[in-house]
Amino acid sequence: MIKSTEAMGHENITEFILLGLFSDEDKKVACFVVFSLCYIAILFGNFLILFTIRGSRLREQPMYFFLSYLSFMDVCFTSTVAPKLITDLLAQQKTISYNSCIAQMFFAHFFGATEIFILVSMAYDRYAAICRPLHYMVIMNRPVCCVLLMASILGAFIHSFLQVLIIIELPFCGPNQIDHYFCDIFPLLKLACMDTSLLVIVIITTTGVLSILTFVALVISYIIILSTLKTRSSQGCRKALSTCGSHITVVFMFFLPLIFTYVPTADSVSNDKVFALFYTMIAPMFNPLIYTLRNTDMKNAMRKMWCRDTRSEGK
């Protein structure tokens, strides 16, 4: 069954060549250093948030329950793309096998879509906390949080599976050069030995429009949330604005490049690579800073947990 599908899907193509971000050799060494440091910062920052939440009482709060999984998804999402991007900067042959390419596309879409759904869950959590404070612990109890998380994972799996299903049915007979730094659906559609214009429209009207609708829904939800803060005390208002402000910043950093990638057309691949860099590398690197620098509870938890560990080691 697998052999027949592969034979139908990619015919003579057994591997692809990733053209990367650019062809300028002088920039590649500098970018290797920069992206390596960015990837280390992403791992360190997101694992710091993850371990701080899991090791403190913050894990009992729904907002930090979702934040810990958002940090974990950031690490997984970036790790599907960054290692290959970094090693290819110094490699002579930037090849990737057909199966590895399909796997990379699946996991990139899976972890990315899971992040989107978790961000939606976090917006719902903030709405319940600020607009329905008396019923908050009933609305957002732990079973509800787990159901929202599992629904996010299931929705992301279905989305990713459909993307892969589209690609494995396409014939690839050459050329095999992908004008991108990782395997994504639009660059792969360009290499198919058939007319894929209808598929491009389908993807734009599903993935693209879904991204826009989700983004608009999140913005509207925060407008509603912020409008209710007018009746709150100044201290409570500042705390709510701090947590909401962090979330809104992350939403804008993640969604805007995503929308520019999947909404207009599949023809602007060079621009798509720049936009993709934002949601695969830049946003995951800044997320820990956004959530810690603007969050007093997180800063206090880090100070208690890591300073305590340092003092205990000194003794």
The reply to whether 9 falls in a domain is no
Q: Which residue, among 10, 6, 5, has the nearest Cα to 173 in the 3D structure?
A: 10
Q: What is the domain count for the chain? A: 1
Does the pLDDT at position 311 exceed 60?
no
pLDDT tens-digit map of 55-66: 888 888 998 999
| Residue 311 within a domain | no
Contact between 64 and 58 (Cβ < 8 Å): yes
User: What pTM does this model have?
Assistant: 0.86
Instruction: Name which residue leads in pLDDT, 198 or 307.
Output: 198
Within-domain flag for 3: no
Q: 3-state class of 97 per DSSP?
A: strand
- Per the DSSP assignment, residues forming a β-bridge with 97 are 15
Reply yes or no on whether the pLDDT at 2 is more than 60.
no
Distances from the Cα of 180 to the Cα of 16, 21, 267, 272, angstroms: 11, 6, 12, 8
Residue 178 lies in a domain: yes
**Domain-located, residue 218:** yes
Report pLDDT digits (tens) over 190-211: 888 888 888 888 888 777 777 8
Residue 314 counted as domain residue: no
84: containing domain: 15-301
Distance from the first to the final alpha carbon of the chain? 62
pLDDT at 7: 43
Q: 267 pLDDT exceeds 60?
A: no
What mean pLDDT value characterizes the chain? Answer: 83
Instruction: Quote the pLDDT of residue 291.
Output: 80
The Cα-based distances of 283 to 69, 162, 300 in angstroms read 15, 25, 24
Residue type, 285: M
Q: Provide the 3-class DSSP secondary structure of residue 15.
A: strand
pLDDT per position as a tens digit, 86-115: 999 888 788 999 999 999 999 999 999 999
Question: Does residue 4 lie within any of the structural domains?
Answer: no
Separation of alpha carbons 205 and 150, rounded Å: 25
* Segment of 162-171, 243-252, 299-308 carrying the highest mean pLDDT: 162-171
CATH of the domain at 171: 1.20.1070.10
